[in-house]
Chain A
């Protein structure tokens, strides 16, 4: 039920892509970003040891570059590659959500 509402909220929030993860996985990804990415970027994504990931902060960043950062990390910084945890379409979905303002967790 919760996932259905989340899916509807996301539908309203932006275009759906054929490769988007399913609704259940989407809520897992929301929690992963808020809680685990949040350990460096903050749960509100306002930054910490890592840079802020708010829509405003990412506005002028290229989409492909952000996806590559998630998938492959940034050598020389504390940003790890997430390719063992996330598929490329999942990384793309996450970046799209970040760029339009990341959804909050629904419990």
Chain B
């Protein structure tokens, strides 16, 4: 009895401070970019659980997740890399790692977080637990399109140099880098869901550089060359993004630069397989996880629209106006819902992807990127 009584204060304390146990599979973050803050969201309850502040300049912020889905690594424009604990809703670690940064990626085994930087140009490799700097690869160029590949490798493109580099981080303190020609001004890159093909979209010329990372010795080739056929392109008020790209039914759906088109490529032959005319210049072209639909948002001044392509018919089946300045979209893990950020309406809208009905809206201050923990298990996310 006496022993039990002495334990009582400990038991009470534990009962008071312990949160209910929960998993992280239905969690995510919404970037509130103007206020340096992220909202932690629950995709089952469709609610905001908490907000975490003090993340710096979140212009163009992007996020990757630890593979246990507990931590979000947030890459800010000002070079800040912040590790946010989603369960405790607080900053776990934060480092200033560059002057001007654009995003990052996490290794196949989840042990390495890599940042891609504009200033100074290059990539930096961090221990995912401690955020200790392990190594860096200077590029003398702005780095875009960083993507994780199987085998602790990372592919990225160099905007100013027109190259694709692959760094092998099997020994994270001694990166081994291979370099390939890409083309004029690669603006972003992506890897196919199986981690095999890396593509860099080109801004300075019509076309996309393609590298088979299973056979890098074959070098790069160019696909969708001259898709503009010499026509003058429209002014591009916002660069498209390739990460979060769409592969569905053996075809890849890619944004055309300076054109109101989504380009289709056959992923067996890498030849053009058609085009879909859309309402504006595409920014994100994203497949619902089952591949039946592809959702497209647009650059300024058409950024109030979102269109849905049915991949079976190749037709647009829905045109929505979910709010002012739609910057990003994210599907729930199996795609029954999509969350859209409406920057100038200061809200996130949640739609049913089958009925196209709006299910809920959540308040958010100038929301931009939306990222769910289901990304943790996907190559290239």
Contacts and interface: CB of A to CB of B under 8 A. Distances in A.
Nearest to B365: A107
A47 B34 CA distance: 16
A103 B344 CA distance: 18
Given A42-B60, A43-B59, A47-B119, A35 B78 contact: no
B366 A44 contact: no
Contacts of A49: 102, 118, 142, 144, 159, 187, 239
Contact of A48 (B102, B203, B204, B301): B102
A40 B239 contact: yes
B57 A44 contact: yes
B82 interface: no
Contacts of B95: none
A21 interface: no
Label chain A's interface by main secondary structure: loop
Interface string A46-76: 1111000000000000000000000001001
A84 B235 contact: yes
Query: Most A CB atoms within 10 A — which of B57, B78, B236, B237?
Result: B237
Contacts of A38: 59
Interface string B220-243: 000000000000000111110000
A44 to B, nearest CB: 5
Given A44-B59, A78-B185, A39 B239 contact: yes
Interface string B341-378: 00110000000000000000000001000000000000
Nearest to A81: B235
A1 interface: no
A85 B78 contact: no
A89 interface: no
A31 B236 CA distance: 19
Contacts of B60: 39, 42, 48
Interface string B55-95: 00101100000000000000001100000000000000000
Contact of A43 (B77, B159, B204, B237): B77
Contacts of A78: 185, 187, 203, 236, 239
Given A44-B78, A46-B78, A49-B159, A39 B238 contact: yes
Given A78-B185, A105-B34, A47 B235 contact: no
B293 interface: no
Nearest to B366: A35
B57 A46 contact: yes
Nearest to A36: B300
A40 B119 CA distance: 14
Nearest to B301: A85
Interface string B131-147: 00000000000101000
B343 A35 contact: yes
Given A35-B325, A36-B300, A48-B100, A43 B235 contact: no
A73 B118 contact: no
Contact of A80 (B142, B185, B204, B236): B236
B57 A80 contact: no
Given A46-B77, A47-B118, A36 B237 contact: yes
A36 B343 CA distance: 11
A77 B115 CA distance: 25
Contact of B100 (A36, A43, A47): A47
Contact of B235 (A35, A40, A73): A73
A78 B142 CA distance: 13
9 contacts: A42-B60, A42-B77, A43-B34, A43-B59, A46-B57, A46-B78, A49-B118, A82-B237, A105-B34
Interface of A: 31, 34-36, 38-40, 42-44, 46-49, 73, 76, 78, 80-82, 84-85, 105
Given A39-B59, A43-B34, A48-B60, 5 more contacts: A34-B34, A42-B57, A48-B77, A73-B235, A78-B239
